[in-house]
Amino acid sequence: MGDVQPPMAEPSSLQQDQAREREKVEAAKIKAVQVQQEKEAASAASEATRKAKETAALDKAKAEKAAAAKAALDRGAAKEKQAEAAAARRAAADKAKEDAAQKIREERAAKEARAQGGAAVQARKAGREATSGKP
């Protein structure tokens, strides 16, 4: 029992102040790291939100452009159908005019043939009368 430990000396007030100061500095460093991490997380979230909005705007613009193109095609197809229908109506009208003109030509030719036929009959009749001497 010869080893007797000297009693532990209590830390002096200066040592206690220094220890508290070190704890405050450590706590401030930890807090600064936490604040920096929170800022980075908020910045990343903000960037992700911005990109999502940008992507949504681009998608919306693409959809609107596609809808406008489809509408233009639909209008073009409708105009084309209208043009085809108008062309068909014009062709039918032209055909009807041509048919009417052909009928008129045929009627005139028949009338002329009858007139010429009648004249030929008269000429033959006159020729017979002249040869026979009878009126």
CA 32/CA 47 separation, integer angstroms: 22
For the chain, the domains span: 15-100
Q: State residue 11's pLDDT score.
A: 63
pLDDT for 2 beyond 60:
no
For 62-117, the pLDDT digits (tens) are 999 999 999 999 998 899 999 999 999 999 999 999 999 999 999 998 888 887 77
Structure tokens at 91: 């062709």
Q: Bin 118: left if φ > 0, else alpha if -120 < ψ < 50, else beta.
A: alpha
